Amino acid sequence: MRRNLWLRIGLVAVVVLVSLWYLYPPKQRINLGLDLQGGIHLVLGVDTTKAIANQTERAAEDFKAALERKGIAAKRIAREGDRAFVVELANPASWNDALTVAAQFQTFERRNSDQNAGRFALALSDREVSQQRDLATRGAVEKIRNRIDKFGVAEATITRQGDERILIQLPGVQDPDRAKALIGQTGLLEFKLLDERTPVEEALAGRVPEGSEVLYQRRVDKDSKQEQKVPFVVQKRTLLTGNELTDASVQADPNSPGNWQVSITFSAVGAQRFGEITESNVGRHLAIILDGTVYSAPRINERIPGGRAVITGQFTVDQARDLAIVLREGALPAAVSILEERTVGPTLGADSVRQGMLAIAASSVLVFLFMVFYYRLSGLIADVALVLNVLLLLACMAAFGATLTLPGIAGIALTIGMAVDTNILIFERIREELKVGKTPRGAIEAGFNRAFRTIIDTHVTVLVTAAILYNFGTGPVKGFAVSLFVGLSASLFTAVFFTRLLFDLIYLGRRKVVSVSI
C-alpha cells in the first residue's frame, strides 16, 4: 500500500485534471435538457400506411394507362386495402397481354388470379412494404432536418425512433406554434382543374361525380376575424405537383396590401408541362392545392410560358417564408402527426434551474455539516470526496455529451445522499474495529476491506435499477437514470479509492498513530 502511494496520488491528480479540462467552461460544456433551457420536444408519427396506400393508388393509375397504351380494355381497376389493387379485364382473351403489362410492375405480386373471369389482383410484397415504410420514415426525417436547418435552430436533434416515429428536440425555440407548423406540414403542392360542370350545391348535397371531390379554401374575414370555408369541386386527377419546382420565394401580395405571397419557379420539365396544361385549358380554372386545402383557383386566360406561378392566401410574412422553405425542400413522403409534445417556456426553465440548484446546494450543505459534526476529520475527508464525486459526475456528463434534466438534478441530489452512505458504511466499520481493540491503522485497513463487499453489492443493485430506468424511460427520466448511473460509478472511485488515499496520507506517514478522528 505504502509503495503505491505516489501512484495513487498521481491517478487522482490525473482524474481531477481531466475532469476540469472537460468541464471548462461549464456553461458551454453541460447540455441542459429542454425542461431546463426551454424548448420543444416532439414525437411525430409517420403515416406510412397512408403513404403505401397512395403508392398503390398511383400504381393502379399507371397500370390503367399502361393497359390503354397496349389497347387492352379494362372493366375495373380499383385499389383494395392499402397495398393491392384489382384488375378486371373487359375481355378475358387479352389475359396474356395483360400479364406482360403486370410483369413490368416488379414491386407487385400477382394474386387471386382467375383467368376465366379475366380477373387478378396486384399486391405489394411484404419486403417491398417494409422497404417503403422504411423509406418513408427515413425520407421524412431527412426533409424535416432540412426544413429545420433552413429555419435556423441551433443544436436541434432529429432522430428516428423505431419504425415510424421521429423524435425532434428544439432547444430555445421562442415560437413553438410556428415551428410545429413548419415541421408538421406535409407540403404537398398540387395543381388540379376545377370540375366546372358540377354545381357546388349539387356536390355538397352528396352528388359528387366519379373523378371529382370537394375541397375547401379557408378565408379569414378581415373585420370579423372569422374563418370561412369555401367549397370547390375539383377533379381528382393531379396535373402537376410541387416535385417539379426548383425555387420558391416570398413577395408582397400586390392585390392585397399587408399580405404576402409565395412565388414558385418550375424546373424545365415542370415549366413545359405547366405551359401545356395552361395552353389546353384556356378559360378553365386551375386550383392550387396545398395538403388538400385550396389556396386559389384562378382562371387561365392564356398559355403561361416560363414556368412561374404564385400562391396567394392571406399569408403573414413569417407564414409565407415558412411555406417557401417547405416548398423548396419538397413534400414529406408521408403525412406526419404529433403523438407527443412537451414545450417548456424559457422562463419556466430558468425557474426550474434556480430551484433545482437551490435544492442541491441546501442538501449538500446539510449533508456536509452533518458529516463533519458526526465524524470530525473523517467526515471532512468524506466531504472532500463528495465534492470530487460531483465534479466527476458533471465531467462525465460533459464528456459523453449527456443532457442534464430536472430529474437529472434530482438524481445528483440523490447521488450525494447515497455516496455519503458508502462513507458511513466504512466509518461505522472502522469504529467497530476500534472498539474491539484494533490499532488505528489495523482498524482503518479492516474497516475498508470489510465494508468493500457490501459497497459493491449496494452499488450493483442501484446500477441495475438505473440501467433499467434508462432503457424504459424517455426524456427527463432517462436524464435521471444517467446522472444516477454516472454518479454511483463515480462514487465507487471517490468514496472508496479516494477516501482511502486520504486516510493513508494522514495516518500511514506518521510514525505512531495514537487515535483516529472518526
Partner 1 sequence: MIEIFRNPNYNFIGRRRIAYAVSLLAMILGLGSLATRGLRYDIDFTGGALVQVRFEQHPDIAKIRSALGKAGVGEAIIQEFGDPREYIIRLPLSATTSQDVGKKIEQALTAEPSLGKIEIRRVEFVGPQVGKELQLQAVYAVLFGLIGILIYLAARFDLKGGVAAVAAVFHDVVVCLGAMSLFGKEFSLPVLAALLTIIGFSVNDTIVAYDRLRENRTKGGQRGKSFAAQMNDAVNQTLSRTVLTSLTVFFSTAILLFLGGKVLEDFAFVLFVGVITGTYSTIYVAGALVVDWTIYVEGRRRGKKAVARA
Q: Are strands 403-404 and 31-32 parallel, antiparallel or unpaired?
A: parallel
Asked if 265 is part of the footprint of partner 1 (rule: CB under 8 A), the reply reads no
Asked if 341 is part of the footprint of partner 1 (rule: CB under 8 A), the reply reads yes
| CA separation for the pair 72, 101 (Å, rounded) | 10
Asked if 513 is part of the footprint of partner 1 (rule: CB under 8 A), the reply reads no
In one letter, which amino acid is 424?
I
At what angle are helices 95-104 and 48-69 packed, to 10 degrees?
Answer: 130
| CA separation for the pair 214, 208 (Å, rounded) | 8
Asked if 280 is part of the footprint of partner 1 (rule: CB under 8 A), the reply reads no
Secondary structure percentages of the chain, helix, strand, coil, to 5: 55, 25, 25
Q: Can you say whether the dihedral through the CA atoms of 198, 204, 210, 215 is positive or negative?
A: positive
Asked if 52 is part of the footprint of partner 1 (rule: CB under 8 A), the reply reads no
* Binding piece for partner 1, criterion CB under 8 A, among 107-115, 242-250, 290-298, 449-457: 449-457
| CA separation for the pair 313, 233 (Å, rounded) | 19
Number of other CB atoms surrounding residue 255 within 10 Å: 7
Query: Segment 398-437, which members bind partner 1 (CB under 8 A)?
Result: 406-407, 410, 413-414, 416-418, 420-421, 424-425, 428, 431-432
Q: Please count the residues of this chain forming the interface with partner 1, following the rule CB under 8 A.
A: 70
Asked if 344 is part of the footprint of partner 1 (rule: CB under 8 A), the reply reads yes
Contact (Cβ atoms closer than 8 angstroms) between residue 164 and residue 252: no
Asked if 449 is part of the footprint of partner 1 (rule: CB under 8 A), the reply reads no
Looking at 21, 209, 457, 509, which residue binds partner 1 (CB under 8 A)? 457
| CA separation for the pair 21, 29 (Å, rounded) | 10
Question: Cα-atom radius of gyration of the chain, to the nearest Å?
Answer: 35
Asked if 363 is part of the footprint of partner 1 (rule: CB under 8 A), the reply reads yes
| CA separation for the pair 76, 90 (Å, rounded) | 8
Residue nearer to partner 1 on the CB measure, 258 or 345: 345
Residue nearer to partner 1 on the CB measure, 55 or 389: 389
- Cell triple for residue 172? 430555445
291 contacts: CB under 8 Å, gap ≥ 6: 185, 186, 187, 188
Asked if 477 is part of the footprint of partner 1 (rule: CB under 8 A), the reply reads yes
Asked if 480 is part of the footprint of partner 1 (rule: CB under 8 A), the reply reads yes
Residue nearer to partner 1 on the CB measure, 90 or 339: 339
Asked if 53 is part of the footprint of partner 1 (rule: CB under 8 A), the reply reads no
Site string for partner 1, 174-193 (x = CB under 8 A): --xx--x---x---------
Residues forming the site for partner 1 (CB under 8 A): 35, 43, 45, 176-177, 180, 184, 337-345, 347-348, 351-352, 355-356, 358-359, 362-363, 366-367, 370, 373-374, 406-407, 410, 413-414, 416-418, 420-421, 424-425, 428, 431-432, 450, 453-454, 457-458, 460-462, 464-466, 468-469, 471-477, 480-481, 484, 518
